[in-house]
DNA sequence: GTCTATACTTCGATAGAC
DNA sequence: GTCTATCGAAGTATAGAC
């Protein structure tokens, strides 16, 4: 079908919509979640996908290209999923539920660690994060507007960062087995949100 | 001097207080910060320390042992440093300054990423984190007590988690090049702390 | 699009001489 | 305590046949 692409360097490169390419991305994503980015090698990815290692290099010139493709596919998917959920949220409580959902957080953390030392991935993450932040901001502003945000409350963008930080700590520490103060904090947040937005119970 | 240690397996193992061992730990720590944990190999560590690769295995049976030793040494050092700073803090503002200090955060993040898939390191991080949390909690409780914490304020442990989460997000995002909302959030925190504890300005 | 074959590098780890 | 020597495994990447 879709023919191969000739790149500047004489190497051949597989079509982006190939089924095999998708299998490789699936395998890489799983490996990354289960054993960390260091476990994502061409041999192991291929073996998990039931394919030959060389195919990885046929579809992705370098391993970094593979990482980038995995990230892009997943981020795009999450963005769509999240946008739908945000759009239907009618209270801060519902937004908070979305924020503290641990699904995807482990994945993001893995990429953040990887990104710390790879420029290409770092900029890609930054791009998506800004879009994400903007989406959350719109949702919070919309909800706060609906219930007439009080003057003593914080600006929407601060609320977003507060929720993000809190959920990040809670999810991360839970994964590490640290839990002291978590219950109290969750209860406190619920209380704050209820005070701020009584209609959302 | 300090003689070598015979382990269960017939291998020899260098003395814990050896100068060379310290050099290897230094090299590993630097490499980890600059290029990530994936760059920490016996060969690269040794080369940076100006030593032979086999010495790494003489002082550390496995690479995980090396990682663990690097973490322990640094965590112990940070704990002492932090304890001294906390003890002299007289206001929430001063505590906040300590919390948002990015020094060491990159280091911790690197280990968290590594810990995600290595049990030994995970439990070690959890142990230190709990001690850390307790220290912060004591300090916050002490400061809040001094200024008569108002009833509408949050419990000390919640304050600690809030500060931790916020600083984590700010530091992490800054490292990635994401800055939207940061200034507003910092200003908001300052305002909150001033309201809560006017004496600390 | 997938295969075989392969070049080359780096890795962790160990044995034993000095 | 440090060295030489070495093993076997795994890594990235490429060329070229089918």
A153 or A126: which carries more pLDDT confidence? Answer: A126
Say whether the CB atom of B63 is under 7 angstroms from strand C: yes
What's the rounded Cα separation, in Å, for the pair B129 and B123? 10
What's the rounded Cα separation, in Å, for the pair A163 and A167? 6
- Among A89, A190, A106, A174, smallest CA distance to A140 is for A89
pLDDT class for B114, splitting at 50, 70, 90?
confident
* Set of chain A residues whose Cβ sits within 8 Å of the Cβ of B185: 157-158, 161-162
| Structure tokens belonging to residue B100 | 């948002």
Task: Tell me the per-residue pLDDT of B51-106, one tens digit each, with 9 for 90 and over.
Answer: 999 999 999 999 999 999 999 999 999 999 999 999 999 998 999 999 898 877 77
Bridge partners of B5, per DSSP, are B13
Say whether the CB atom of B7 is under 7 angstroms from strand C: no
| Structure tokens belonging to residue A9 | 């360097």
* Set of chain B residues whose Cβ sits within 8 Å of the Cβ of A112: 109, 113, 172, 176
Say whether the CB atom of B18 is under 7 angstroms from strand D: yes
| Structure tokens belonging to residue A24 | 């490789």
The SS3 call for residue A6 is strand
* B41 Cβ contact list (under 8 Å, min separation 6): B63
Say whether the CB atom of B52 is under 7 angstroms from strand D: yes
pLDDT of residue B201: 45
Task: Say if B175 is an interface residue toward chain A (CB within 8 Å).
Answer: yes
Residue ranges per structural domain of chain B: 1-61, 70-200
Task: Say if B87 is an interface residue toward chain A (CB within 8 Å).
Answer: no
Neighbours of B152 (CB within 10 A): 6
Task: Tell me the per-residue pLDDT of A55-99, one tens digit each, with 9 for 90 and over.
Answer: 999 999 999 999 999 999 999 999 999 999 998 999 989 999 998
Task: Say if A40 is an interface residue toward chain B (CB within 8 Å).
Answer: no
Type and span of the H or E element at A130: helix A119-146
pLDDT class for A195, splitting at 50, 70, 90?
confident
- The arithmetic mean of pLDDT across residues A89-115, rounded, is 86
The SS3 call for residue A91 is coil
Of all residues in chain A, the one with the smallest CA distance to B160 is A181
Look at A101-105, A132-136, A138-142, B157-161 and tell me which has the smallest mean pLDDT: A101-105
pLDDT of residue A153: 74
> Which DSSP symbol is given to B38?
G
> Which DSSP symbol is given to B61?
S
Name the architecture of domain B70-200.
Orthogonal Bundle (1.10)
pLDDT class for B158, splitting at 50, 70, 90?
very high
Span B1-61: which CATH code?
A: 1.10.10.60
Alpha helices in B36-104 (DSSP H): 42-49, 54-59, 63-88, 92-99
């Amino acid at each position: 079908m879709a023919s191969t692409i000739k790149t500047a360097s004489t190497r051949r490169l597989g079509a982006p919509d190939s089924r095999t390419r998708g299998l490789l991305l699936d395998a890489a994503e799983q490996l990354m979640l289960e054993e960390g980015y260091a476990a994502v090698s061409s041999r192991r990815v291929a073996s998990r996908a039931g394919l030959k290692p060389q195919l990885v290099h046929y579809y992705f010139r370098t391993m970094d290209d593979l990482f980038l493709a995995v990230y892009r596919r997943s981020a795009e998917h999450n963005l769509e999923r999240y946008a739908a959920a945000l759009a239907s949220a009618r209270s801060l409580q519902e937004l908070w539920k979305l924020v503290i959902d641990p699904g995807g957080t482990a994945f993001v953390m893995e990429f953040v660690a990887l990104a710390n030392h790879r420029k290409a991935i770092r900029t890609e993450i930054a791009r998506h994060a800004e879009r994400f932040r903007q989406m959350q901001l719109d949702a919070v502003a919309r909800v706060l507007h609906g219930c007439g945000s009080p003057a003593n409350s914080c600006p929407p963008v601060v609320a977003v960062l507060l929720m993000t930080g809190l959920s990040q700590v809670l999810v991360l520490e839970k994964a590490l087995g640290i839990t002291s103060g978590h219950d109290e904090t969750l209860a406190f947040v619920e209380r704050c949100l209820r005070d701020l937005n009584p209609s959302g119970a």
